[in-house]
Amino acid sequence: MNAAIDYSCFTRDEDGRRSLYMQVDGMRCASCAWKIEQALAAHPGVEARINFSTQRLRVTWPDSVPPRAANDFAEEIEALGFQVAPFDPDNRAAAAKAGERDLLTCLAVAGFATAAMMLFADALWFSRDLEGASRDLLHWLMALIAMPATIWCGRPFFRSAIGALRHGRTNMDVPISLAVILANALSLFETVRHGHYVYFDASVMLLFFLLIGRYLDLKARGKAREAAQGLLAMLEGTARVLREGRPAAVRIRDIRPGDILVVAAGEKIAADGVVLSGASEIDTRLVTGETLPRAAVVGDRLYAGMINQAAPLQIEVAAAADDSLLSEIVALMEKAEQSQSVYVRFADRVAALYAPVVHVLALATFIGWIAFGYFTGPVAWEEALLKAMAVLIITCPCALGLAVPVVHVLASSQLYRQGILVKSGAGLETLAVVDTVVFDKTGTLTLGAPQWLNPHVLTGEDRRLAVAMAAQSRHPLSQAVAAGGDEPLPVIVTDHPGLGLEALYAGETVRLGKGTWLGVPDSVDRSMELWFRRGAGPAVRLVFADVERRDAADTVAALKRRGLRVLMLSGDRPAVAQGLGIKLGIDEVRASLSPVDKVAAIEALQAGGRKVVMVGDGLNDAAALAAATVSMSPSTGMDITQNAAGFVYRGEGLKPVVTAIDIARRTRILVAQNFALSLVYNVVAVPAAVFGLVTPLIAAIAMSSSSLIVVANSLRLKLQRV
């Protein structure tokens, strides 16, 4: 462990327990994460959870344990062969990009070396009478290409294997590294002594196909690292806080409870708090999803991420950035991401048996052939070693490793052509088995912005006046009027926060705002209306609505025909949400939900055995999107929400939801077929290698052919129409 780092300084209090977040490097498969969790959980009261996608470890323990325990945990992880550091998302992202570039370079070199090696291998293979100096020359040329290529391209596998062996454990990279080293060592030995057992091409080809699978896996996992970074970015930047009676700029992360925030009109609220002075209207769409702003007066609770629209406010901070609603949403997202990796971890634990089984099988093959020679005639140790290497190579789970990512790449390409971006390979797997679709309302089932429904009630100069006044306001209803398209008139507008707009035109007072402000008797619900009055003329009612997307009802009906249960979870008022649900044919509608309520509703459905796909577009949906089995977001949604979602779709319609489910179901069938093909390959190929029926080159070709068969089967996805 780095002696300069005291991890006790990075611990925090969470619900009466100490917690520590660490970055763990050196994990090559999810079974590594499982080993770390099991080692730490062996201590009484200690809980450890790793998000393998972000390589972030969270350890919690009782307050009764001394703070120095944090350093003990770090030392224990490093004793297992991994590197740890305090979690830093910026450094993690930079390291991930560097690792991706290095892996891509290795892949490119291996591909070039494989193509070059095949030129010499073909000459040796098809020219059986090639002997003497000509054959030796080809062998030396192959060695000059293969030796540096394998040393360079094999680094990801060699480093992993050495790190595992150094700490008394094995992983999948150990037999792979052993086969490559033995193949090159024996080939070089045979080249020096003018022998025939030269298989440089087998080792290079093996590395090339393995690097393809590793790069595809790295790209898929890299997408998951973006999920919470957008939310965390909202906790950066500066805000204005009263210091000695004067506003001063401070970092958002340095804001503490009791500080007084000064929030001007148009600024984002930096921390959770209570209004001390001022009255304004607050855009809550990022948090609640509501289309219309809410009035805020002294004593109202506001949350980080909301936007002050109308007038300056002073807010007493109630929670620091790390304890804000945004931080709670990030924690919920990370918890959900960890819970989705159960099946992946189970598969990796099973795959962890691969290394010891293959080593035993290869050793048994070598000893068996030497022993067999005593009964049937001497068997050269080189030949026995080649048969053992063939076992190491032919049992490489390359086809099994490509069974899922190849289909997912093809499915992702097909979905992209349909306007759907796939951000999670695991999302395709889970989308195929969902039985429940949960929609957010605002911005998902609806367009997310009010539409002016009766522009005909204003004509001529009155309409141009209304457009001119509305263009100078940020209120969503005013923006809907301003979008009317008429050429505005030059007027000077006075904004009356919470009431409306006023202008003087041709000696007449013109008002656009609330009915009560214009002297219109109050009614039951004025949430989606404005009133316009010019001078002493009559007040004219302007009606608005957040209209549903054009194919929303058809999409809901199509989902029901596929046997899916459809629900709506909304932060909007019950009357509005219920009305839309009836119009679209959604029988289950739940309204007035906070972000935490939405997560609870999703978890309740899953606890009842439902597999849920969540479709939403707002900050209030980010945690629910991460908590769902799989999630989708329109491209018009927030960047943060799109990062949390497994799928992002373009366009104004909802048809992509149905399209994605249909393609995911076909993808699942092909993945199952690929696994079956991989199983058949191993059942046939492994015994053939053990009984000496294949050489290392044939083993590499067979291994590569199994991958090509898997790819060819996956290509059938492109033949099916959407």
Which CATH number fits the domain that encloses residue 299?
2.70.150.10
Least confident window among 56-70, 359-373, 463-477, 665-679: 56-70
Q: How confident is the model at residue 68 (pLDDT cuts 50, 70, 90)?
A: low
Q: Which residue has the tokens 């005593």?
A: 374
Q: What is the pLDDT of residue 546?
A: 82
Number of C-beta neighbours around residue 105 at 10 A: 12
Residues 100 and 215 placed together within one structural domain of the fold: yes
Q: How confident is the model at residue 323 (pLDDT cuts 50, 70, 90)?
A: low
Q: What is the pLDDT of residue 391?
A: 83
DSSP per position, 580-628: HHHHHT--EEE-S--HHHHHHHHHHHHHTT--EEEE--SHHHHHHHHHS
Q: Among the options 348, 440, 617, 621, which is catalytic? A: 440
Cα 200 from chain centre: 39
Name the burial class of residue 624, with classes exposed (0-12), middle (13-18) and buried (19+) by CB atoms within 10 angstroms of its CB: buried
Q: How confident is the model at residue 31 (pLDDT cuts 50, 70, 90)?
A: low
Active site residue 639: no
- On whether residue 229 sits in a domain, the answer given is no
Last residue of a domain, one of 42, 72, 87: 87
Q: What is the pLDDT of residue 212?
A: 76
Span 292-306, pLDDT tens digits: 677 888 888 888 778
- On whether residue 668 sits in a domain, the answer given is no
Q: For residues 535-551, give the mean pLDDT.
A: 88
Residues 432 and 561 placed together within one structural domain of the fold: yes
Tell whether the model's pLDDT for residue 228 goes beyond 50.
no
Higher pLDDT, 2 or 574: 574
- For residues 78 and 167, give the distance between their C-alpha atoms in angstroms, rounded to a whole number: 9
Contact 108, 136 (CB under 8 A): no
Tell whether the model's pLDDT for residue 651 goes beyond 70.
yes
For the record, the structure tokens of 25 come out as 């490097």
Q: What is the pLDDT of residue 355?
A: 60
Span 361-389, pLDDT tens digits: 888 888 888 888 777 776 677 778 878 87
Least confident window among 11-25, 103-117, 225-239, 614-628: 225-239
First-last CA distance in the chain: 54
Q: For residues 207-236, give the mean pLDDT.
A: 60
Residues 113 and 209 placed together within one structural domain of the fold: yes
- On whether residue 707 sits in a domain, the answer given is yes
Q: What is the pLDDT of residue 661?
A: 93
Percent of the chain at pLDDT > 70 equals 77
DSSP per position, 672-703: HHHHHHHHHHHHHHHHHHHTT---HHHHHHHH
- For residues 318 and 59, give the distance between their C-alpha atoms in angstroms, rounded to a whole number: 27
Q: Which CATH number does the domain housing residue 82 bear?
A: 3.30.70.100
Percent of the chain at pLDDT > 90 equals 13
- For residues 481 and 484, give the distance between their C-alpha atoms in angstroms, rounded to a whole number: 5
Least confident window among 208-217, 538-547, 601-610, 628-637: 208-217
Q: What is the pLDDT of residue 227?
A: 44
- On whether residue 665 sits in a domain, the answer given is no
Q: Which residue has the tokens 């119009």?
A: 583
DSSP per position, 193-236: TT-S---HHHHHHHHHHHHHHHHHHHHHHHHHTTTTHHHHHTT-
Q: What is the pLDDT of residue 335?
A: 46
Residues 395 and 383 placed together within one structural domain of the fold: yes
Residues 124 and 190 placed together within one structural domain of the fold: yes
- On whether residue 201 sits in a domain, the answer given is yes
Range of 103-107, 252-256, 706-710 with top mean pLDDT: 103-107
For the record, the structure tokens of 529 come out as 């209306």
Contacts of 655 (CB under 8 A, 6+ apart): 551, 554, 555
Residues 367 and 244 placed together within one structural domain of the fold: no
Least confident window among 156-160, 299-303, 401-405, 531-535: 401-405
Span 562-575, pLDDT tens digits: 999 999 998 888 88
Q: Which residue has the tokens 């046939």?
A: 684
- On whether residue 377 sits in a domain, the answer given is yes
Higher pLDDT, 75 or 400: 75
Q: What is the pLDDT of residue 524?
A: 56
Tell whether the model's pLDDT for residue 511 goes beyond 90.
yes
Last residue of a domain, one of 202, 223, 244: 223
Residues 100 and 207 placed together within one structural domain of the fold: yes
Tell whether the model's pLDDT for residue 407 goes beyond 80.
no
Q: What is the pLDDT of residue 720?
A: 63
Residues 611 and 694 placed together within one structural domain of the fold: no
Span 413-429, pLDDT tens digits: 788 778 787 766 567 77
Report the mean per-residue pLDDT for the chain: 78
Number of domains in the chain: 6
Q: Which CATH number does the domain housing residue 491 bear?
A: 3.40.1110.10
Residues 538 and 555 placed together within one structural domain of the fold: no
Q: For residues 217-240, give the mean pLDDT.
A: 56
- For residues 392 and 363, give the distance between their C-alpha atoms in angstroms, rounded to a whole number: 10
Q: How confident is the model at residue 165 (pLDDT cuts 50, 70, 90)?
A: confident
Last residue of a domain, one of 510, 528, 545: 545
Q: For residues 436-454, give the mean pLDDT.
A: 87
Residues 219 and 103 placed together within one structural domain of the fold: yes
- On whether residue 228 sits in a domain, the answer given is no
Residues 123 and 211 placed together within one structural domain of the fold: yes
> What radius of gyration, in Å, describes the C-alpha atoms of the chain?
32
Query: H-type helices in 395-506, by residue range?
Result: 398-402, 405-417, 425-431, 460-470, 476-482
Q: What is the pLDDT of residue 653?
A: 85
Residues 532 and 555 placed together within one structural domain of the fold: no
Owning domain of residue 522: 451-545
Higher pLDDT, 610 or 116: 610
- On whether residue 249 sits in a domain, the answer given is yes
Q: How confident is the model at residue 605 (pLDDT cuts 50, 70, 90)?
A: very high
Q: What is the pLDDT of residue 341?
A: 38
pTM: 0.56
Contacts of 91 (CB under 8 A, 6+ apart): 23, 85
Q: What is the pLDDT of residue 373?
A: 78
**Exposure letters 344-373 (e unless 16+ CB within 10 A, then b):** bbeebeebbebbeebbebbeebbebbbeee
Q: What is the pLDDT of residue 451?
A: 85
